[in-house]
Structure 1
Amino acid sequence: MNALIFGATGGTGRQLVEQALAQGHIVTAFARNPRNLDLQHPNLHVGQGDVLDFASVERVMQGQEVVLSALGAPASQKDAVRSEGTRHIIRAMEQTGVRRFICLTTLGIGDSQQALPFAYKYLLVPLFLRQAFADSERQEEYIRQSALEWTIARPGTLTNGQRTGQYRHGFPASEKGLKMKISRADVADFMLRQVQDHAYLRKAASLSY
């Protein structure tokens, strides 16, 4: 399948690229600086551009069958990369007829807020992550308002651990015993499973160990 991956040079995005290639997909990795993606594979193509530039997003969308986004930005960054980048992705998908969209946000957005531990909910998010969470809220709203076949992945704290394939997904906010963390490799595993599995079609799934 022709898969377009945004945020391809980030930790989760790189896992998406590597795992998608291993599964036999034809991958286009969208990157502002392709040199940051030091991978070579006969099925890998790199599309250079800025997700905040609609023309470059529309150009790379041609011929794609599924879009996966792992857009992210430092908490201190002022640009609304998640929401505005996602708005451009959605618009380009709608204009080119690409339907399937699998997008990474974060645990704590929307109805998953109650899953956050006390320190996150009342200290870390209000004091340090408020802007990033607000941007992710807007991002999810754009997705929900679209007519796309979307799935949102909301992981807990991301780690650089191995892909295990053993993680919880789609749990209610009241579920107990969560570790509130998950490896980027396992997040990519979940997102790529959604390419064929529509169990979370037009739904958001929380992810954690």
Structure 2
Amino acid sequence: MNLLVVGAAGRTGGLVVDRALRDGHTVTALARDPGKAPSPRPGLTAVRADVLDPAGLTVPMKGQHAVVVALGVHGRGSTTVFSEGVRQVVAAARAAGTTRLVAMSSAGLSTGHLPFVQRQVTRLVAERVYGGIHTDLARMEAVVLDSGLDWTLVRAPMLRDGGPTSSYQVSVGGHVPTARAAVRADIADWIVRNLDEPATYRQHVEIAG
């Protein structure tokens, strides 16, 4: 599969690149800072581009079978990077005929399965911890749902570094009740394993350790 990873310079995005290459996929790694892009390897093409620049996405998106969005920002202030970035990715994917989209989101948005009081507490905690990031991730999810693509929104709790555990919990269309944290390598593992899994299309997927 030809795979475009947006946010490849980040800790999670870089692991998606590594995991996809191990499975034999051909990967295009998009990063705004070329100095932080994944190191050159067979099967990997690193591209310097800003996700907020539509022109920068046109060429990297051509010929891709799927795109994974693993954006990140510094700080917790107000931002539109997630929603506007994904908006540009969706537009480029539609133009290129790329139908598969996987986007990283937050388990703090998985409140529909909770009782009212717990739902309110979860929302307040998420807003306190993630600030403006959480607000923009909600806007991003709305863009994804309206994209018309074969999307999957991967909702993860607090992310941690470390090796893959192979024991993480997954809920497709539901909620992991004990979700507290997730290992980035586990997130990358699940994403790559399910790039072409129709059962995950147009689903919210929650992953936790």
Which of 196-205 and 15-24 deviates more?
Answer: 196-205
Residue 100 of structure 1 contacts residue 149 of structure 1 at CA under 8 Å; is this kept in 2? yes
Q: How does 1:43-122 map to 2 (within 5 A)?
A: 43-111=43-111, 114=114, 121=122
Q: CA deviation at 1:198?
A: 1.8
Distance 1:120 1:9, change over 3 A: farther
Question: One-letter code of the match for 1:141?
Answer: A
Instruction: Give the share of equivalent positions with the same residue, in percent.
Output: 31
Q: CA deviation at 1:161?
A: 1.8
Distance 1:206 1:140, change over 3 A: same
**1:157 matched residue in structure 2:** 158
Question: Helix, strand or coil: the match of 1:105?
Answer: strand
TM-score, normalisation: structure 2: 0.90
**2:16 matched residue in structure 1:** 16
C-alpha separation in 2, matches of 1:103 and 1:42: 25
Residue 111 of structure 2 contacts residue 122 of structure 2 at CA under 8 Å; is this kept in 1? no
Question: One-letter code of the match for 1:12?
Answer: T
- Superposed CA deviations along residues 125-146 of structure 1, whole A, max 9, x for unmatched, are 3334231111000100000011
Q: CA deviation at 1:122?
A: 6.0
Question: One-letter code of the match for 1:131?
Answer: G
Q: Is 1:184 aligned to residue 191 of structure 2?
A: no
Question: Helix, strand or coil: the match of 1:68?
Answer: strand
For structure 2, which runs of at least 5 residues remain unmatched after alignment? none
Question: Helix, strand or coil: the match of 2:40?
Answer: coil
- Superposed CA deviations along residues 95-153 of structure 1, whole A, max 9, x for unmatched, are 111001111111011545849x8997265433342311110001000000111011110
Question: Helix, strand or coil: the match of 1:205?
Answer: strand
Distance 1:99 1:185, change over 3 A: same
For structure 1, which runs of at least 5 residues remain unmatched after alignment? none
TM-score, normalisation: structure 1: 0.90
- Superposed CA deviations along residues 2-53 of structure 1, whole A, max 9, x for unmatched, are 1000010111001001111111111100001121124120211011110010
Q: CA deviation at 1:179?
A: 4.6
Q: Name the Cα RMSD after superposition.
A: 2.2
Which of 103-112 and 16-25 deviates more?
Answer: 103-112
**1:34 matched residue in structure 2:** 34
Distance 1:123 1:79, change over 3 A: closer
Question: Helix, strand or coil: the match of 2:140?
Answer: helix
Q: CA deviation at 1:162?
A: 1.1
C-alpha separation in 1, matches of 2:2 and 2:88: 19
Distance 1:13 1:191, change over 3 A: same
How many residue pairs align between the two structures? 206
C-alpha separation in 2, matches of 1:110 and 1:38: 31
**2:6 matched residue in structure 1:** 6
